[in-house]
Structure 1
Amino acid sequence: MGYHYGAGNRDELKNFFRKSIRIILTMSVVLTIAAELLARPLSMIFVSYNAELLEMTVYAFAVYSFSFLLSGVNIYASAFFTALNDGFTSAMISFGRTLVFQVVSVLILPILFGAYGISI
């Protein structure tokens, strides 16, 4: 991306961007579906010793799996702006992802989901 940006090849930039977004969106959907389907088997690897904890973990994993729909685009957006030499926008996206949205989630999810919101 940075190479084509530096070369001023806007057509190739648009083409590369479209292909990247298609791949990211496709893989985000595939990973979300896989995480939904594999929530129980993966949870059983770690917490099969306690039925109550297993159910809570399966629920939390299933809810958390929806974050895969947005995380790919978010990570790509940060890398995209870095490649375009726009470090400030990239930093703001990363800052929002790593601090702002996590703090907001910790404060809001327990209100929406009760005790299960804590484990999400």
Structure 2
Amino acid sequence: MRFTTLFAVGLSALALASPVAEPQDDIQDPSPLALEDRAYQPTYYVISCQVTASALKYRTCGSSTCPAVGQYTKGKVLPVHKVLRNEIPAWYHLKNGYYVSSQYCSVYGGSAT
């Protein structure tokens, strides 16, 4: 019992000696990371792309593991909503909601900068 009492008194004294961190109101947002320091590359916008392969499958998501819904023929110009740079190669998210690989569709009438 004596040990329990000493432990409780010691714990109380320790709690009084250890200051509690006060919340800081002046915390500033971190500065934005340089593009090369980001683990996930941001999205870049383009106007359209032109199919360079003889046939280019369009998919339900930006990955070759997603099901192909159909295909476009060589020379077809596709309106691009955005470029997904988190995959290699990058994927173009088309304005119709489908995705195509950037390996087989070159930027047309705009730039991916």
TM band (smaller chain): under 0.3
> Normalized against structure 2, the TM-score is what?
0.22
> Normalized against structure 1, the TM-score is what?
0.21
Higher helix share: 1
